[in-house]
């Protein structure tokens, strides 16, 4: 387990707090001669969900790795057999901690796919080799700053912009962007659970701006509230924090709590569960898109593979590395005509650069299975 501190190009503010730099936890799995990488997306503080990076590190070391070890000793036909398909079941005795579990499962999956010579994209069933880029803009100091930032993003080729909103920063920023850019920009907003059902009338004032969606307006466990809100808004409701598994997605859709789903592998326990979320939504005719957690190139590579699946028909929070980091851990992802290429190499298809790792690493811990 390797901790790194990556300074952000600009601080990122949402209703869930402000991040100045990214405290990254990388899992590097070493199995015989094979290496696999996984990035833990847990933020430094438990404001987005209950997970945070110090807790994830602790739970991996103290509980999750020993779970893998017990499977290896008890059930494997050949010593050392731990497969990606078996990781979720092996870790099931530990409740929650999905971001920590996802990091570990991704490292096993990456190692396994590297060994087999298959890309994560092909393993997940990708149908495209590049995906359109979208950008998430934090809460800005002023409306002027926001509009200037949107202008820069459009110039760079981003076709879809998401604005973080909170009470006091919602109608005015949306109006400012629409007034300046008209319908040149596909626009959506994300409340990160900062509103209440009592705000329904206020949020309905967003309807005339023809947003692609409003994401997670209410708190994560309020599915009934989202269903009630959906009857009072014309803007489609998307859920993010509420969708912790394929089962949670099925429930939310059945209750009428959302008509769009944001998929994040870290939030649901890994890419294999993320694929199930995709499948459940596809079967229900609900479009999905890939969310972002300020990932480095390691996590970004996996997200691009996920977003290449068929039902990812809406543009995700998939940006060039330069949007967040002066220097990424991997070779930087760049925009090409508003698109980013899906990595095609074995596994995640990226390799952290040794000199960047060495420079930015703040701690290394070794855990043996
Ligand atoms: Mg969100």
- What's the 275 CA to ligand 1 centre distance in angstroms? 18
**346: in domain:** no
User: Do 56 and 112 belong to one domain?
Assistant: yes
Give the separation between CA 175 and CA 236, rounded to whole angstroms: 18
- What's the 244 CA to ligand 1 centre distance in angstroms? 13
Across residues 326-353, what is the average pLDDT? 97
* Domain CATH for 357: 3.30.390.10
How many independent structural domains does the chain possess? 2
Give residue-wise pLDDT tens across range 218-247. 999 999 999 999 999 999 999 999 999 999
pLDDT at 75: 55
- What's the 118 CA to ligand 1 centre distance in angstroms? 31
* Domain CATH for 318: 3.20.20.120
Contact 166, 217 (CB under 8 A): no
The number of helices, as runs of H, and strands, as runs of E, in the chain is 14, 13
User: Do 79 and 168 belong to one domain?
Assistant: no
Residue 72 pLDDT > 90: no
Residue 252 pLDDT > 80: yes
Neighbours of 342 (CB within 10 A): 23
**297: in domain:** yes
Residue 245, domain extent = 122-341
When pLDDT is cut at 50, 70 and 90, the band that residue 349 belongs to is: very high
Residue 74 pLDDT > 80: no
Give residue-wise pLDDT tens across range 159-173. 999 999 999 999 999
Across residues 63-79, what is the average pLDDT? 74
User: Do 208 and 320 belong to one domain?
Assistant: yes
Residue 81 pLDDT > 90: no
Residue among 205, 160, 163 at smallest CA distance from 183: 160
pLDDT at 80: 59
The region of weakest confidence among 82-86, 116-120, 232-236 is: 82-86
What percent of the chain stands above pLDDT 90? 91
User: Do 151 and 242 belong to one domain?
Assistant: yes
The mean predicted confidence, pLDDT, of the chain is 95
Residue among 14, 44, 12, 317 at smallest CA distance from 194: 14
pLDDT at 33: 85
When pLDDT is cut at 50, 70 and 90, the band that residue 14 belongs to is: confident
pLDDT at 70: 80
User: Do 92 and 191 belong to one domain?
Assistant: no
- What's the 309 CA to ligand 1 centre distance in angstroms? 20
**162: in domain:** yes
Show which residues are catalytic: 164, 264
């Amino acid at each position: 387990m390797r901790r790194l501190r990556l300074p952000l190009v600009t601080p990122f503010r949402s209703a869930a707090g402000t991040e100045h730099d990214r405290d990254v936890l990388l899992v590097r799995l070493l199995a015989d001669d094979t290496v696999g990488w996984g990035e833990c997306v847990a933020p430094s503080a438990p404001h987005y969900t209950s997970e945070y990076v110090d807790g994830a590190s602790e739970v991996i070391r103290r509980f999750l790795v020993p779970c893998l070890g017990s499977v290896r000793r008890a059930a494997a036909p050949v010593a050392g057999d731990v497969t990606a398909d078996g990781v979720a079941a092996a870790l099931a005795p530990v409740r929650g901690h999905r971001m920590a579990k996802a990091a570990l499962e991704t490292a096993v999956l990456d190692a396994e796919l590297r060994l087999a010579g298959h890309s994560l994209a092909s393993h997940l069933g990708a149908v495209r080799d590049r995906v359109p880029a979208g950008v998430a803009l934090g809460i800005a100091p002023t409306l002027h700053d926001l509009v200037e930032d949107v202008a820069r993003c459009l110039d760079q080729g981003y076709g879809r912009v998401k604005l973080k909103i909170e009470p006091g920063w919602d109608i005015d920023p949306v109006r400012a962007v629409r007034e300046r850019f008209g319908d040149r920009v596909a626009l959506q907003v994300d409340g990160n659970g900062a509103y209440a059902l009592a705000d329904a009338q206020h949020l309905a004032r967003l309807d005339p701006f023809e947003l692609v969606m409003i994401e997670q307006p209410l708190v994560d466990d309020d599915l009934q509230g989202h269903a009630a809100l959906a009857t009072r808004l014309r803007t489609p409701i998307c859920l993010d924090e509420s969708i912790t598994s394929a089962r949670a997605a099925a429930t939310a859709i059945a209750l009428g709590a959302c008509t769009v789903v944001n998929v994040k592998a870290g939030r649901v326990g890994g890419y294999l569960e993320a694929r199930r979320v995709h499948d459940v939504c596809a079967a229900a005719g609900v479009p999905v898109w890939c969310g972002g957690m300020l990932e480095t190139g390691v996590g970004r590579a996996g997200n691009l593979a996920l977003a290449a699946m068929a039902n990812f028909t809406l543009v995700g929070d998939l940006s060039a590395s330069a949007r967040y980091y002066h220097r990424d851990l991997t070779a930087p992802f760049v925009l090409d005509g508003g698109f980013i290429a899906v990595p095609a190499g074995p596994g995640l298809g990226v390799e952290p650069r040794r000199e960047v790792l060495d420079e930015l690493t703040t701690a290394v811990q070794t855990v043996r299975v």
